[in-house]
Structure 1
Amino acid sequence: MPKATLRDVAERSGFSITTVSHVLNDVPGKRIPEATRERVRAAAAELAYTPNRLAQGLRLRRTNTLGFISDHIATSPHAGQTILGAQDAAADYDCLLLLMNSGSDAELENREIQALRDRQVDGIIYAAEYHRVLTPPAALAGVPAVLLDARPADAGFSSIVPDEVGGAATAVKELIDHGHRRIGFVTNITDIPATALRLAGFKKALKTAHRHFSRALVVEDISEAHGGFRAARVLLDRQPADRPTALFCFNDRMAMGAYQAAAECGLRIPEDVSIVGFDNQELIAASLRPGLTTVALPHYQMGQWAVHALMRTVEGSANGSLRSEVMPCPIVRRGSVGPPPRS
């Protein structure tokens, strides 16, 4: 069956092609009675009419495509939710999302950005693997763009990052609310923004609760399970009177290592030691026994936000204003937190 045209819809509804076009394209400022609009839409539905996106794009000077380019996010554990959030939001605007992954290769990245520009995408989301401060590539100049999980070194781009400080403070408050006073921090040794910001959140929660911060209870290692194991052993091998009753871990991988360290020390979770992670990596947090209480990075929501911010610029509703947003990180409670053991 041939595809229905505007003329077909006009003949079925009994109105002119101009009126049908105005209704189906939601042309603003046209005083068309609601009864007319309903008849036109009903006729379009009966004929399974779909608009000509190419013609619309030529009229609006838009391609209804958005670029999504990143360094490693396409292969990171969190990529699925970030991309899904961006795709769902793009669908709200009837846009397609074109994904590219540079692998931190600057030359490849420039070629990919140019390829997106050659295809006349309406805008580009530039995503980073970690929350960090960066200088966006010069190839982004002149095209609407936003940063996802990164902040620009200088003004010029809207950006979205997770609230690392607030998320860490929430995690530690969960332990404090259960009665823990001696809380260790198993943290990352790598100098990235998340390392400093989560330490700041750890200190903030202690200060809010009028608890003393002890540097001796902070142990650094690489942010993997074996790093978490080593750091947790340093804290849990202490004499009972000096040993923390709870551990806040930089991420869920380090928390998994802390579980192993607790088991080797003969400690039960949460009866003898409580553990909280960060990231909410489902394959880890929900699979551990007991399930790991952790703080979720809002990847899906950040992907959505990036598209909405980008489309405000594309559609001219941003009025030239730039926005730098910090998105809350909610706690996900499972079974790894309980009251401290009795002396």
Structure 2
Amino acid sequence: MTAHRPPAASATRPARITMQDVARAAQVSQTAVSLVLNQRAGANIPPETRARIQAVAAQLGYRPNAMARALRQGNSSLLGLVTDEIATTPFAGDIVRGAQQAAWQQGRILTLVNTDHQSALEQEALSALLQHQIEAYLLASMAHRSLQLPALLRGHPVVLVNASSDDPTLPSVVPDELRGGREATEHLLALGHRRIGLIDNLDDSVAATLRVTGYQQALRQAGLAVDPTLMVKLSGWQEAGFAGALALLQQPRRPSALFCLNDRAAMGALDAARELGLRVPEQLSIIGFDNQELIAAHLRPRLTTMQLPHYEMGAWGVRALLCPEPDGVRQARLHCPLVRRESVQPPGPDFG
């Protein structure tokens, strides 16, 4: 008769080492192991016993049960990041990367949920995260916009990323769109451009309003009037940039430079310039906004643009969750730096 043998442990999934295993190997009580490995203050454990427990735990490869600890303590080492579509686009994915890196540096793990703009899915996701004792939450938006705090998260630590709120007590971080629009225009002005066209293809968004205001501020500060005939507003992406550039560049006194409110509009503007036989940047300068790497760095000529601080916003959000009011700021606006490439230069002799 063949003796019954227990099944061998899977080579790919070893059995979990428990505190009981550590206690047996170290020849101490499970209570002593729990006190040492959970770093309980005031535990009266002799130093030599404490050292032996720690050595045995390391040798066996013991790992604490994070979920069990979370249930005991009422929280976990997990941070929740709930987004509308950031996780499915390479454009704003640096928000996730920045948040993940900052969380890791603080000994936390980031849990990501992408809702695809579905409110029902957001409610379901938040309920699941709350059941898993998530410590704190980032609510991140693909586009800079105003958000209302979901009712389920009231009373929990929350930071808005690339979004703001009417609630002054709710921490948030957004790009400084106003300054970005102003500095993009100032860069063109500093090179000598005076007729600067603007292509707005961002509908009535927070970002568009602030970028346009920055453009107007820079013109006025340079002593120039804001000329409505140099501003076009169209819905769409590349096609809006193309149509807007055609309209501006076929005026009797065409602009020497175009400020496009995002890089996809700038791509369309470059196509329009080629169709009209204008060389960029020799006869026309074009500057964009966002620094979408898959676009801006691969156009010909490569696009000068303003960098959206996605990585920095994600990292700031995590720091604000774990260290309230980093740098003494509750509502942060982060700088959008200029990325210089080859699509901008001083105006040609036709504009001297």
Q: Same fold (TM over 0.5)?
A: yes
Q: Distance in 2 between matches of 1:26 and 1:219?
A: 64
Identity across matched positions, percent:
45
Cα distance in 1 for partners of 2:246, 2:41 equals 66
- Structure 2: unaligned runs, 5 residues or longer: 1-13, 24-29, 44-49
**1:247 counterpart (258, 270, 279):** 258
Q: Is the 8 A contact 2:202 2:261 kept in 1?
A: no
Change (3 A) 1:339 1:46: farther
How many residues align? The count is: 334
Residue 225 of structure 1 deviates from its aligned partner by 0.3
Tell me the CA shift for residue 89 of structure 1: 1.1
Match of 1:334 among 315, 336, 341: 341
Deviation, structure 1 residue 64: 0.9
Correspondence 1:278 to 2:278:
no
Q: What residue is the counterpart of 1:97 in the other structure? A: 110
For residue 18 of structure 1, report the CA deviation from its aligned partner.
11
The structural deviation recorded for 1:296 is 0.6
Please tell me whether the aligned partners of residues 223 and 253 of structure 1 are also in contact (alpha carbons under 8 angstroms). no
Offset at 1:74? 2.2
The Cα of 1:322 is off from its aligned counterpart by 7.9
In structure 2, the residue matched to 1:258 is: 269
Within 5 Å, give how 1:1-343 maps onto structure 2: 53-54=66-67, 57=70, 60-188=73-201, 190-239=203-252, 242-312=253-323, 323-343=330-350
- Whole-angstrom distance in 2 between the partners of 1:220 and 1:28: 64
TM-score when normalising by structure 2: 0.82
- Label 1:75 to 1:226 Cα distance change in 2 as closer, same or farther (>3 A): same
Distance 1:24 1:164, change over 3 A: farther
Which one has a bigger Cα radius of gyration?
Answer: 2
Contact 2:70–2:133 (CA<8 Å) still a contact in 1? no
* Secondary structure, counterpart of 1:127 in structure 2: strand
d(CA) in 1 for partners of 2:113 and 2:239? 32
Taking structure 1 as the reference length, what is the TM-score of the superposition?
0.84
Shift of 1:58: 5.2
Please identify runs of 4+ aligned residues in structure 1 that moved more than 6 A: 1-10, 17-30, 37-49
Q: Which moved more, 1:261-270 or 1:42-51?
A: 42-51
SS in 2 for 1:79: coil
Q: CA RMSD in A?
A: 3.5
